[in-house]
Structure 1
């Protein structure tokens, strides 16, 4: 189970990783395995629309069982499929890096993290750092 304490660690450490790497201001959301928001934080200077972007990245990961990189590859190979899924999920998926599955020690999906604000690849790097800091396994 992914709880509020782990979510707070993920957010804190993802933001630290972004700042240490000189990334633009990030926004980080943590969802549980049902796609419900556990926690969200936006760095000073991050644009206000970032919550929806971060949530869509994480929501796609947890609902589809694949991280943003895998979703992007699927969108490139089968754009019609991802477009249809966007309709199914009322636009709440964004198939790009920065949506990262969270797995526990047994490999079970316990939630997802969405990060936005820099390049999608850098967003994923920050998310992965936060997840590892919480003692969990990222799957981007």
Structure 2
């Protein structure tokens, strides 16, 4: 079981945030990774560049974007950020837009990247948990749902 408090500290959360567009949504997720000491600002730029080059493949489920880039020197530690948007925004993914939750993922290496990803994947594919996560008002409540 993953230690969500380590990978997803209180500083990683921004709930009911207003954003201009998908780039701003990724920037918010990046800012939370920086605030938690997981990355530098350069990683935020890399996440945005990844979508510009590869398209909106990071929108992995209805309403959910998993913002990330390849492990790089801009990653200081493995962790997540959790940005719930006040008003959903389009990323350009017809099947899964609009996005209301952006999770930032930073992994120091491929193995840690996948470890953290698999730790949250189960919760994010569970409709009951997803509904609870959308309503949760605190970082503690969100971590409890993910761990449950």
TM range (shorter): 0.3 to 0.5
In the superposition, the TM-score normalised over structure 2's length comes to 0.32
Return the structure number with greater relative CO, CA threshold 8 A, min gap 6: 1
In the superposition, the TM-score normalised over structure 1's length comes to 0.33
